[in-house]
Chains A and B, each alone.
Chain A
Amino acid sequence: MSASEEGPFTHPAEPERQLAGEDIAPGDERLDGSGVAQGTRGYIIGFILALGLTVASFYFARSTLVWQPSIPALLIVLAIAQMGVHLVFFLHITTGPDNTNNVLALAFGVLIVFLIIAGSLWIMANLNAHMPSMSQVMDMQR
């Protein structure tokens, strides 16, 4: 909405239309009309952040500097951070006021993903715990 006060900016793909106060499609380029240079800068920042997080992941997976039992949690945190970097800098999913629909859809997707993965692990671990061991099965067959 604030763009309307600053001037009639246009979308690079559809220059005949003004962008003031519009929704944002996922993957949309920046809305402040400052052109390719600004967009390139966003991708470079995102690329450097993602690269740093990737290098950190591979480094800590091999290093012996960190307390070993903490490494899985560390790797998962780094992966989630990198997904966030990709979402913001590459897919342009942000929390801006015009991006509500995209963020809500993402939140629902994350909920379903969490339910599927955590639910499967929980149920299968429970089944495993209640499964009779091989020797017990042999006893039953006798």
Chain B
Amino acid sequence: MTATHLDLGQVDRNLVGHGHGHGHDAPGRGEGGPAPHRIVVGYGFWIFLLSDIVMFSCFFAAYAVLHRATAGGPAPEQLFDLTTVELETACLLASSFSCGLATLAAYAHYPIKFYSAMSVTFVLGLAFLVLEGREFAHLVSMGDGPQRSAFLSAFFSLVGCHGCHVTAGLLWLLTMMAQVFAKGFRKDIMHRMMCFSLFWHALDIIWVALFTVVYLLGVIS
């Protein structure tokens, strides 16, 4: 009888789709039951981030195809000022670091460290946006706006798309601070915080590709 009971139990588990691994009792596979919410949320957001990166790769491909199509206008090496780009890169890298510290502080339930690290992240992200906005305004005032050539259209859409993501990230950052303030370090709020920090770090990865392909490779050619 006991053996039959055990068998039924295993059949049941297989029917509800808890995986088919053998000898595993870890959650998410074998006999371990479904994966916890935190794993599912993180994995789902990771899939979203990868699809976002695939979207950016389309903008990168367009830029790589069009960066010589200057239509008699300025070429990359005449336009870009590496000092601005260095400052932007420093801001974004430092904000990624402070975002990581904010995540640690949130997990450890340190409110003051959390708020100060998030504020530093916000200020650095805002500084990045201001620098980028100034660069765009300068280009447009010189008559080198997105309508000047296919190269500049591709440039503004690629870099502007990243800037839009940073803007959305800053709004999300303020939302996270408000949610922690109103609801505390609750479990579901911490899931959102994990997604936010993933988003912010992913933006920094895209910026690495961006400053290398657009600015550095543009200037040396």
Contacts and interface: CB of A to CB of B under 8 A. Distances in A.
Interface of A: 1, 11-14, 17, 20-29, 35-36, 39-40, 43-44, 46-47, 50-51, 54, 57-58, 61-62, 68, 71-72, 75-76, 78-79, 82-83, 86-87, 90-91, 98, 101-102, 105-106, 108-109, 112-113, 116-117, 119-121, 124
Top 3 A-B pairs ranked by shortest CB distance?
A25-B42, A109-B50, A120-B61
Nearest to B56: A113
B216 A26 contact: no
B219 interface: yes
Interface of B: 25-28, 32, 35-36, 38-39, 41-43, 45-47, 49-51, 53-54, 57-58, 60-62, 64-65, 82, 85-86, 89-90, 93-94, 96-97, 100-101, 103-108, 110, 187, 190-191, 194-195, 197-198, 201-202, 204-205, 208-209, 211-213, 216-217, 219-221
Given A14-B187, A109-B50, A40 B65 contact: no
Contacts of A40: 101, 104
A61 B104 contact: no
A22 B36 contact: yes
Contact of B93 (A39, A47, A98): A47
A83 B209 contact: yes
Given A36-B108, A71-B220, A109-B50, A23 B39 contact: yes
A43 B94 CA distance: 11
Majority secondary structure of chain B interface residues (helix, strand, loop or mixed): helix
Nearest to A20: B26
Given A17-B36, A106-B50, A87 B205 contact: yes
B93 A51 contact: yes
A120 B64 contact: yes
A29 B202 contact: no
A66 B37 CA distance: 51
Given A14-B38, A116-B57, A120-B64, A23 B208 contact: no
Given A23-B27, A58-B86, A98-B26, A79 B209 contact: yes
B208 A79 contact: yes
